Amino acid sequence: MSEQLFHFVGNGSVTTPAGFRAAGVTAGFKRTGAPDFAMLLSETPAHFAGAFTSCTFAAAPVQLCRKRVLESPRLSAAVINSGNANACTGAPGLANAEETCRLAAEALNLAPETIAVASTGRIGVQLPMDIIARGIRLAAAELSTTGGNAAARAIMTTDTVPKSVAVQFQIGDRTVSIGAMTKGAGMIDPHLQVPHATMLCFITTDADADNELLAEMLGTGVADSFNRITVDGDMSTNDTVLILANGHSGVTIRKGTPEAKLFKSALDTVMRELARRMVADGEGATKFVEVKVVNAPTREDAKLCAEAVANSLLCKTAWFGNDPNWGRVVAALGYSGATFDPNRTDIFYDDMPVVRQGGDAGTREEELADIIRKREFTVLIDLHAGEEEYWVWTCDVSYDYVKINADYHT
């Protein structure tokens, strides 16, 4: 499906789709006084699906949301706090996640099992339930059909900008909207699994679709968006992606139809756009880099190569220093574990040859440096060993990244 069949909505957010309200408030998690608590509400119970971190130390809210996916047919709301991850908090942490749902259910006149929770922030600290209660009280009172962007701001941690997007398209004479918000700038290397990201993403749509179809679409969507990005190679304990579909547009998406193909194309575009924004806003990042491996013997070999280069500290610091040092790229390829012949390998920065058949391509270093100085560029690796390929979006590592993470203490 052509992307021309749908369009981005100016200032779009999770409340662009009909029947959704949201709020972002200051509950008191952050010492700065910045907004730190968000609430998202569907005016009618919504079908839903989720994808979550594959980290063994999954946080309490992730454990609870996995339970919702397995046991609850619909969701009505999500509450999100920024400033405390509620991770590695044991049975008390899980009980606090459940209590958060109970308090929100009471405030919204809903059943607790129709509410999801998500948290981001410092690991290993119990949730201050008095602050949670204050956040729920304030957010419930502020819920609005224009509150999506405020909610996106409230879930930020080290992000420098809120990240919201929405698209719209026609199905028959009906307008369908998909809105989303995400946060994440560090501890970003998601490996999300359905149903079983620190990134958090909440997607809303006023179309309807059953939970099974939503899970299928979400699973393939995250594989080609959030699971293709890395800022620092660290996977979070709290990574969470939720999609809610409330049907307020009057459109139902059914598997195998042209409408499903259009919906999936729009959904994929939303997730890729937010994934791109996360990398561009990576902690201290000054460069956005696509690492693309082509003509690999297997997709797994291509992935191993792309991820090795994208996560290499030596490559990332060279990019920050505007250094075209291709020796760091070939070293990362060499230890990636992929199967390929180094003597057949070519590397390009954008379309400029860097390595030919495993050795120096002869391009002047000054020309290569001009490419590395750009805000965005591509490292293209051609293994000449097959037909498979894989790409990853990454960024550089700067002095500011070290400073942010040395000082970070929510």
Domain ranges in the chain are 3-280, 288-407
DSSP string, 185-247: SSS-----BS-----EEEEEESSB--HHHHHHHHHHHHHTTGGGB-SSS---S--EEEEEE--
The pLDDT tens digits for 92-141 are 999 999 999 999 999 999 999 999 999 998 899 999 999 999 999 999 99
Q: What is the DSSP letter of 314?
A: H
Residues 109 and 9: their CA atoms lie apart, in Å, by: 32
Residue pair 235/187 in contact by the 8 Å Cβ criterion: yes
Residue 404 to residues 129, 158, 320, 384, Cα–Cα distance (Å): 28, 8, 16, 40
* Positions marked catalytic: 198
3 state SS of 169: strand
Mean pLDDT of 184-191: 57
Per the DSSP assignment, residues forming a β-bridge with 203 are 180, 243
Q: Model pTM greater than 0.95?
A: no
The pair of three-digit structure tokens given for residue 346, joined into one six-digit string? 């070519």
Evaluate whether the domain defined by 3-280 bears CATH number 3.60.70.12.
yes
pLDDT at 340 exceeding the cut of 50: yes
Task: From 64, 49, 1, select the one nearest 205 (Cα to Cα).
Answer: 49
3 state SS of 289: strand
Q: How far is CA 192 from the centre of its chain?
A: 9
| pLDDT at residue number 154 | 97
| pLDDT at residue number 198 | 63
pLDDT at 184 exceeding the cut of 80: no
The pLDDT tens digits for 228-278 are 998 877 678 888 999 999 999 999 999 999 999 999 999 999 999 999 999
Residues 371 and 367: their CA atoms lie apart, in Å, by: 7
Domain covering 288-407: architecture: Roll (3.10)
What contacts 370, CB < 8 A, 6 or more positions away? none
3-280 shares its CATH topology with 288-407: no
Residues 201 and 221: their CA atoms lie apart, in Å, by: 13
The pLDDT tens digits for 355-402 are 999 999 999 999 999 999 999 999 999 999 999 999 999 999 999 888
Residues 273 and 165: their CA atoms lie apart, in Å, by: 8
Prior bond of 195 cis (ω within 30°): yes
